[in-house]
Structure 1
Amino acid sequence: PKMNFIDGAKLGETAKTVGVRPEHLTVDAKSGAWKGTVVHAEHLGADTNLYLDCEKAGLLTVRIFGVYNAEPGATLYATPDPAKTYRFGAHGRVLK
């Protein structure tokens, strides 16, 4: 799946856009950075792709290695790996 691109202003970021790859997000049923609702769970054998509609981040794709059972409508919290989160400026260049 493609990288998730999130409007930085929605997250309170100074960056124009925040990017995080689906495999660099984790999910938890109790807590995390972005609260969301499961829209769809796509089971691909060795992987599960979850599509979450998050309050702050919008629609996200989360790639989980292995089987993860989540029903549409369930609440999950997505958390990005800070070391693998990218911030982009107004011209699309990565900010340091």
Structure 2
Amino acid sequence: RLGETAKTIGVRPEHLTVDPKSGAWKGTVVHAEHLGADTNLYLDCEKAGLITVRIFGVYDAEPGATLYATPDPGRTYRFGADGKVLK
């Protein structure tokens, strides 16, 4: 299974970062949810679809703004067509 192309990838919301200028996935802010200690951003990304990014602390982002999300490569999981984790 080594080297097999992933059908899907998985990454937790807290293992993504955002930047207004560059990153892996260009997205549009759909909603920003301020939860006190955290902010959840909901982004509609061209390559990844609708994703949730969890940011520790307050992050101001208006709906319609462009942000780039980047997954932490050490915490990204790849899955084959059968749904099993790829190495």
TM-score normalised by the shorter chain: which range applies?
Answer: over 0.9
Q: What letter corresponds to residue 6 of structure 2 in structure 1? A: A
The separation in 1 between residues aligned to 2:17 and 2:79, in whole angstroms, is: 22
2:43 pairs, out of 10, 27, 52, with: 52
Secondary structure of residue in 2 paired with 1:83:
helix
Residue of structure 2 in register with 1:80 after alignment:
71
- The corresponding residue for 1:95 is 86
The alignment partner of 1:36 has SS state of strand
CA positional deviation for 1:14 = 1.8
- Shift of residue 74, structure 1, vs aligned partner: 0.3
Whichever of the two has the greater Rg, that structure is 2
Describe the SS at the equivalent of 1:56. coil
How many pairs does the alignment contain?
84
Deviation at 1:19, TM superposition (A): 0.5
Structure 1 runs, 4 residues or longer, greater than 3 Å off: none
Does residue 40 in structure 1 map to residue 31 in structure 2? yes
Looking at structure 2, the residues matched to 39 and 25 of structure 1 have their Cα atoms a distance apart, in angstroms, of 16
Identity %: 90
Q: Tell me the residue number matched to 1:68.
A: 59
Runs of at least 5 residues in structure 2 that lack an aligned partner in the other structure? none
Higher RCO structure, 1 or 2 (CA under 8 Å, sep 6+): 2
**Which ranges in structure 1 are unaligned for 5 or more consecutive residues?**
1-12
Deviations 1:4-55 (A, max 9, x none): xxxxxxxxx9201110100000000000000000000000000000000001
Task: State the AA in 2 paired with 1:25.
Answer: L
